[in-house]
């Protein structure tokens, strides 16, 4: 499975290179491609589509498209060729926000000219440090937890250590899902989220059962391997959003069912949700009965500025 490089006087022309790649693609069978390469190819394909579409936002890409049209001779350039050129420019401009679809360890560094930092971004440093610490600490817990202790009961809950660990990671997942939900409700009248929160509060008893049973089933069906991936991915996305958020975005929020969690308040901003993740994590971490070396705590919990 190797692209045979073209030879001859015109071996480096775009047409010769295109033909060599086309020959390789036409002669390659899916059954011969290793599964790991297939998975990476799927991710890369989605990432490329994101760059192609996202890049159309940038004036630089539009100017490049105009130059291409002016340079064409009687329309000889195919639409596909023009699209690939624009896609290359969009990728160079990092149109998919820092390669967010790339697998862990293969991300492209963000290009400052493509995504200038919004003015007024004020995510408190301690909140950012707390999120980073939780991801590192969770890795330490999973790496050092004795396997024979994962099924033992925890302190003050009906969950086992395995189930509490799964629930700790799920809290991070909840925060990531809440942010876009809160964005939507923040654009509606305040009464809309109050009615929504009141409806959820009325279902507190079945929620308590679902909250318990969900972690029992999740730990059994998906295991801690998925929990580890969730913690990595969701923390990365929370940090990425927080780094780009403006004052207004951090301060926007909605009414929430305060009786669903001891650290919920009747109204929470999106910054409050990021602070909540540390409170939720610390609360359940203290319930573990594992003989593991404790990681140094990150210090006092961060808070959100109020205007």
Q: Ranked by mean pLDDT, which of 72-76, 86-90, 227-231 comes out on top?
A: 227-231
> In the structure, what pLDDT confidence band is assigned to residue 95 with cuts at 50, 70 and 90?
very low
Architecture of domain 125-285: Up-down Bundle (1.20)
Phi-psi group of 105: left, alpha or beta (phi > 0 → left; psi -120 to 50 → alpha; rest → beta): left
> What is the DSSP pairing of strand 267-269 with strand 253-255?
antiparallel
Contact 121, 244 (CB under 8 A): yes
* 271 pLDDT higher than 80: yes
56-76 residue pLDDT tens: 556 656 666 666 556 555 545
Average pLDDT, the chain: 75
Q: Domain residues of the chain, as ranges?
A: 1-33, 46-116, 125-285
124-178 residue pLDDT tens: 889 999 999 999 999 999 999 999 999 999 999 999 999 999 999 999 999 999 9
Radius of gyration of the chain (CA): 25
Tracing tokens 């070396």 back to the chain, one arrives at: 293
């Amino acid at each position: 499975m190797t692209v045979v490089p073209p030879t001859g006087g015109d071996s480096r022309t775009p047409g010769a290179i295109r033909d060599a790649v086309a020959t390789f693609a036409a002669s390659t069978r899916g059954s011969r491609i290793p599964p790991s390469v297939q998975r990476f190819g799927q991710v890369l394909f989605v990432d490329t589509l994101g760059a192609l579409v996202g890049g159309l936002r940038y004036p630089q890409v539009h100017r490049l498209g105009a130059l291409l049209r002016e340079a064409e001779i009687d329309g000889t350039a195919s639409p596909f060729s023009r699209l690939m050129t624009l896609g290359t420019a969009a990728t160079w401009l990092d149109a998919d926000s820092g390669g967010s679809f790339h697998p862990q360890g293969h991300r492209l560094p963000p290009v400052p000219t493509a995504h200038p930092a919004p003015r007024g971004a004020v995510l408190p440093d301690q909140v950012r440090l707390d999120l980073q610490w939780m991801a590192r600490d969770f890795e330490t817990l999973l790496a050092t937890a004795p396997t024979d202790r994962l099924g033992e009961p925890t302190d003050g809950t009906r969950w086992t250590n395995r189930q509490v660990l799964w629930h700790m990671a799920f809290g991070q997942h909840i925060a990531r899902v809440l942010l876009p939900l809160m964005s939507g409700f923040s654009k509606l009248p305040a009464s809309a989220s109050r009615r929504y929160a009141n409806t959820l509060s009325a279902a507190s008893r079945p929620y308590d059962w679902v909250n318990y049973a969900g972690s029992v089933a999740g730990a059994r069906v998906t295991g801690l391997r998925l929990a580890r991936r969730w913690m990595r991915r969701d923390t990365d996305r929370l940090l990425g959003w927080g780094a780009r958020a403006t004052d207004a975005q951090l301060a926007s929020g909605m009414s929430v069912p305060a009786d669903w969690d001891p650290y919920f308040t009747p109204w929470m901003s999106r910054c409050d949700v990021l602070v909540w993740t540390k409170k939720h994590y610390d609360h359940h971490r203290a319930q573990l009965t594992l003989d593991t070396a404790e990681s140094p705590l990150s210090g006092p919990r961060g808070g959100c500025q109020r205007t």
